[in-house]
Amino acid sequence: DAGVIQSPRHEVTEMGQEVTLRCKPISGHDYLFWYRQTMMRGLELLIYFNNNVPIDDSGMPEDRFSAKMPNASFSTLKIQPSEPRDSAVYFCASRGDRSSYEQYFGPGTRLTVT
């Protein structure tokens, strides 16, 4: 299995631009998570899905952030408009219902907003 795939690996954009991060979970996994990692705040859960349905988005910082999961093999995290404080590494993780709670993380997308 290829593991969780994220794209792009690096993104540099200017303030005000729209940014879309993409994630392909491990085939057969029922849960998908989006995390953000910064030096100041550490690892934060933004949102998670179960069977493509958003379950908890309480970690989404503000309305500029949105996430979708149109099917079991694809999810996006969109920031519109982006701001410098959004600069972080964004991780996607997936979990199979029978995997004893282990989350499998992707390599992350490093976002820099100038």
Partner 1 sequence: AQSVTQLDSQVPVFEEAPVELRCNYSSSVSVYLFWYVQYPNQGLQLLLKYLSGSTLVKGINGFEAEFNKSQTSFHLRKPSVHISDTAEYFCAVSAPRGAQKLVFGQGTRLTINP
Residues in contact with partner 1 by CB under 8 A are 4, 31, 33, 42-43, 45, 48, 50, 55-56, 91, 93, 95, 100-103, 105-108
For the bound state, the minimum distance from the C-beta of residue 35 to partner 1, rounded and expressed in Å, comes to 8
Q: How far is the CB of 30 from partner 1 (least distance, A)?
A: 10
Smaller CB separation from partner 1, 42 or 70? 42
Nearer to partner 1 among residue 65 and residue 90 (C-beta): 90
16: left (phi over 0), alpha (psi -120 to 50) or beta: left
Say how far apart CA 112 and CA 56 lie, in whole Å: 26
C-alpha–C-alpha distance, residues 109 and 21, integer Å: 7
The label of the residue with tokens 């282990």 reads 102
